[in-house]
Structure 1
Amino acid sequence: MSTGYLFLLLLPLVSAQTYHWGPCPSPKVQPNFNFQQYLGRWYEIEKLPVHTEKGKCIEANYGMRKDGTIQVLKSRFYKDKVRWAEGTAVIPDAREAAKLAISFSYFTPYSPYWVLTTDYTSLSVVYSCEDYFRLFHVDYAWIFGRSRFLPPDTVRYAKNLLASEGIDLFKMRPTDQMGCKDN
């Protein structure tokens, strides 16, 4: 099967996402990451498109489970109701604790979920990438806040950080957090 034909088959899966030729990049992550400080609720401020994350009022809540894995509860308001997804995150290598891996199904492999920077109290910038046979990759990026809205300078700082790591932000869009209720 030619790579062109393979790409045409996969194109509908990634058309909304941000894809590029070649393997995934490897941006720098938060040094000395402390996951205990990261726990709790984060509100999605902006993101590169993710086909499973449509809607508004998107947030993620991180908590520790007794077995040492991390529970990830994501919620969003979509089609007139709150929708929940529960995932599991792990830290594959404690020496690089900011490089988490996350899965929202027993049937899917863990995907990278890298914290590029956080101050733990207001801002988090996260990056992920899916590599397809090292021929092309799909970028995902999120800007999170501890509150539903961040100052424009903070969002600009986060976007500059992503851009400095070579991440294309052309499709990055704000998440609607207007009129949301805390659960």
Structure 2
Amino acid sequence: MYSTVKVSVRKMKAFLWGLLALVPILKAQVPHWGPCPEPATQPAFNLKKFMGRWFEIAKLPAQFERGRCIETNFTLMLDGSARVVGSEILKGELKTIEGTAVVEDKRNPAKLGISFSYVLPYTPYWILSTDYENSALVYSCTDVLRLFHVDFAWILGRTRSLPAATIDHGKEVFTNNNIDVSRMILSRQQGCDKDL
């Protein structure tokens, strides 16, 4: 019995250390109780039409996005995946990161996965809605033992700004899918081209 208690204490300590390791990741995010929501995604999503340059218009705060003039460029590859190049201006310097996007579920091609390192698993990058030419709504969520989740949401545009009505409609779509966007903020997209 003593060894069983000892093993349980070790498991509990490992679990607590694991949760503590998540603290830096969760710093900018607000964890929500329960598993990730399952929002509806873009029906009949066309990956090829989604390719190209997208600017971040609004977002839930994210620890990994601290700069301004954030944009992502998607390029379709021959194997059906997409090359993803993200960029931002941080402390006066242009920072870029390159990754790969794949369709994780052929029956639901709007459920993409993105990885920015060959050693990291693909992170959900779900297209909830897009007209391909003006705007897109993207959602990502990480489930932690089904106890709580941390999510990300973005409103993207083909230009550096979108009408307020489009942004309001995007927030409404997120809210209708049980995604809390009360902390959503506008991204800084002013003076981007002249700084580079």
Q: Which has the larger radius of gyration?
A: 2
Structure 2 unaligned segments of length 5 or more: list them.
1-11
User: Residue by residue, what CA displacement relative to the aligned partner does 1:67-119 show, whole Å, maximum 9, x if unpaired?
Assistant: 32110110100011100000100002221010000111112110110000001
Q: TM-score, normalised by structure 1?
A: 0.94
User: Residue by residue, what CA displacement relative to the aligned partner does 1:124-183 show, whole Å, maximum 9, x if unpaired?
Assistant: 000000011111110100000000000000000000000111111122111100001187
Fraction of identical pairs, as percent: 48
1:116 aligned to which of 125, 128, 131: 128
Look up the equivalent residue of 1:97 and give its one-letter code: P
Q: TM-score, normalised by structure 2?
A: 0.88
SS of the equivalent of 1:87 reads strand
Q: Which residue is 2:78 aligned to? A: 66
The question of whether the paired residues in 2 share the 8 Å contact of 1:18 and 1:168 is answered with no
The question of whether the paired residues in 2 share the 8 Å contact of 1:57 and 1:180 is answered with yes
More helix by share: 2
How many residues end up aligned between the 2 structures? Answer: 183
Q: Which residue is 1:79 aligned to? A: 91
CA distance in structure 1 between the partners assigned to 2:118 and 2:128 by the alignment: 26
Q: How does 1:110-149 map to 2 (within 5 A)?
A: 110-149=122-161
1:47 aligns with 2:49: no
Look up the equivalent residue of 1:132 and give its one-letter code: V
1:157 aligns with 2:169: yes
Query: How far is the alpha carbon of 1:11 from its aligned partner?
Result: 3.0
1:10 aligns with 2:31: no
CA distance in structure 2 between the partners assigned to 1:109 and 1:74 by the alignment: 18
Task: Output the aligned Cα RMSD.
Answer: 1.7
SS of the equivalent of 1:95 reads coil
Structure 1 unaligned segments of length 5 or more: list them.
none
